[in-house]
């Protein structure tokens, strides 16, 4: 009888551990208010920075600076300014993921290697503490896909 009770308790503890782990993964980041984020609009669309700032506010991120540039970028890029381990960039990157458009070739090599159908923007490292920024996001033409098909 004692072994059965012990086994049930172990199972309950394991289940609670996984539920807690999944709950933490899905919760909003704790230090998102502390990040200083700059949006650099390189999408060619004037309204992109406004729409994207609202998208980030939905996840408790605040945008400190918005810069409009004339150049256009195809893909959105995250630029880390403080941490060599890219901790802030990875935190932002989670919320900038979107689904790749489906192709007819389901056997493509990049899909087999990466194993997923999600696109994560690349993170670049540009250490400069004089900018007073944690992360910069350079918006590309794919910004609307991020807003429309965001992961969360």
Look at residue 101 and tell me whether its pLDDT is greater than 60: no
**Distances from the Cα of 25 to the Cα of 10, 28, 29, angstroms:** 23, 8, 9
The pLDDT of residue 28: 44
The pLDDT of residue 25: 44
The pLDDT of residue 91: 85
The pLDDT of residue 92: 85
Average of per-residue pLDDT across 99-121: 54
Q: How many CB atoms lie within 10 A of CB 82?
A: 20
Contact between 96 and 118 under an 8 Å Cβ cutoff? The reply is no
Render pLDDT for 4-52 as a digit per residue (tens, 0 to 9): 888 888 888 878 777 765 554 444 445 566 788 999 999 988 899 999 9
Give the total residue count for the chain. Answer: 152
Average of per-residue pLDDT across 131-137: 85
Q: How many CB atoms lie within 10 A of CB 25?
A: 8
Render pLDDT for 70-81 as a digit per residue (tens, 0 to 9): 988 888 888 888
What rounded mean pLDDT belongs to the chain?
Answer: 77
Look at residue 130 and tell me whether its pLDDT is greater than 70: yes
């Amino acid at each position: 009888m004692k072994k059965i009770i012990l086994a049930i308790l172990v199972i309950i503890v394991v289940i609670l551990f996984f539920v807690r782990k999944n709950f933490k993964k899905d919760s909003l980041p704790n230090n998102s208010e502390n990040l200083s984020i700059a949006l650099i609009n390189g999408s060619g669309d004037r309204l992109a920075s406004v729409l994207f700032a609202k998208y980030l506010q939905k996840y408790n991120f605040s945008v400190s600076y918005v810069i409009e540039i004339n150049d256009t970028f195809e893909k959105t890029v995250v630029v880390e300014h403080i941490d060599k381990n890219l901790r802030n960039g990875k935190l932002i990157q989670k919320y900038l993921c979107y689904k790749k458009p489906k192709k007819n070739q389901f056997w493509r090599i990049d899909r087999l290697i990466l194993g997923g159908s999600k696109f994560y923007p690349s993170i670049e490292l540009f250490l400069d503490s004089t900018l007073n920024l944690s992360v910069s996001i350079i918006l590309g033409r794919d910004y609307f896909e991020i807003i429309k098909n965001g992961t969360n």
